[in-house]
Amino acid sequence: MIHAVAPGSAPQDSDVLVRVDDVRKYFPIRTGLLRREVGRVHAVDGVSLEIRKGETLGIVGETGCGKSTLARCIARLYDLTAGTVVFDGRDISRLSRRRMRPLRKGIQMIFQDPIGSLNPRRRVGSIIGDPFAIHGISRGEDRKHQVQELMRVVGLNPEHYNRFPAEFSGGQRQRIGVARALALRPKLIIADEPVSALDVSIQAQILNLLTDLQDEFGLTYIFIAHDLSVVRHVSDRIAVMYLGKIVEVASVSELYARPRHPYTNALLSAVPVPDPDQADQRERIILVGDVPSPINPPSGCRFHPRCPKAQNLCTEVDPPLEVKKDDRAEHVAACHFPVEVGEKLSRARAGIAQPERQAAVEVSHEAVEGAIGPKEKT
């Protein structure tokens, strides 16, 4: 494993490739003839992160929690509503599209949809050659050689240079996306759910490819996924996201050994465990209700309507992301009542009324023993 930073010590500035500070992205909701703004989707709402050179930072969270929006903010595909993004020592958060252009070489993205991310009307060679064309790096035969070399690197047959995306399988298409992202030798690659749309049997191939490329080219990755089982195997550290905010960041081993945020605990309990004996032992945490709308996020801790440990304080004060007692310096969580090691969350009872309790009854009577049922008021 490439560990640029000794665990436990605060990272030096020179080790940090990307510093994300209190980034917010709100999408206005407009209606009517006059396009009046009637609300805002708080897609990313105050995210701070550091990504260190050479590491892979995994970002996990349910669909719709703002992972892609955060990724697009870091890649400056979106203008930020607030906050700063410092890339390689340079504040890029307010750069115009034109000023951003040369810097794009350093930050590349791999997209989720292997079909949607490749223009169906263009040949693979010209798709992969795009970066060279856009930045005026090479042309003609030169470019063709470079593209074919890239195709070889990502495990595609260079002779398929003239084919169209539709003639490739899902995994191969994702390799095309990887080749395109790799073309400019970026420092950072943001992979937004790169394997979510692939057959399980192909996922590992792409993950292995990404790992190999990281070793070969000294890449830094932000690796986004909606479940922990995928990120776990490629990440050095994992950030857990919920409704536009980061709720916990820790190294993989820490996160698995000592998950402090109740949401992280719930996510972990949902990771399939192959060993049936172990599966029986493990507690299953069933969350109450659905993810609330990011248009009007809950007050205080956003997780409180679903959190088994929620108390009155949680509805009022937004817990800061900070190092909890007995944790290492790099392990932070945003929770007033962090989960202790050995604590059985499935027995916890929220101290506040949680409106979705009716829905939870239906879920829990089918769920395994130990699921969080609604507390009967006694």
Task: Summarize as ranges the residues that interact with ligand ADP (CB under 6 A).
Answer: 27, 41, 43, 61, 63-69, 294
Continuous H helices in 156-199: 170-182
How many residues bind Mg ion (CB under 5 A)? The answer is 1
Residue 203 as a binder of another protein (CB under 8 A): the answer is yes
Question: What residues have CB less than 8 Å from 129, skipping those under 6 apart?
Answer: 143, 144, 146, 147, 183
Report which secondary-structure segment, H or E, holds 208.
helix 200-217
Decide which of Mg ion, ligand ADP, another protein, none touches 22; Cβ closer than 5 to 8 Å per partner kind. none
Contact set for another protein, span 316-355 (CB under 8 A): none
β-pairing, 220-225 vs 237-242, is: unpaired
Taking the least distance from each CB to another protein, the nearer of 228 and 307 is 228
Contact set for another protein, span 135-164 (CB under 8 A): 135, 155-157, 160, 162-164
Taking the least distance from each CB to Mg ion, the nearer of 68 and 117 is 68
The CB-of-116 to Mg ion minimum distance in angstroms stands at 12
From 58-66, 102-110, 288-296, 329-337, give the range in contact with ligand SF4 by CB under 6 A: 329-337
- CA distance from start to end of the chain: 52
Structure tokens at 278: 């172990």
Sheet holding 90-91, edge to edge: 36-52, 16-31, 82-87, 90-91
Decide which of ligand ADP, ligand SF4, another protein, none touches 342; Cβ closer than 5 to 8 Å per partner kind. none
97/329 Cα distance (integer angstroms)? 37
**DSSP 8-state symbol, 15:** G
CA-nearest of 157, 167, 156, 165 to 126 is 165
From 11-19, 126-134, 317-325, 359-367, give the range in contact with another protein by CB under 8 A: 126-134
The CB-of-45 to ligand SF4 minimum distance in angstroms stands at 15
Contact set for Mg ion, span 64-123 (CB under 5 A): 68
Structure tokens at 25: 């992205």
- Enumerate binding residues for ligand SF4 (CB under 6 A): 261-262, 301, 303-304, 307, 309-310, 314, 319, 335-337
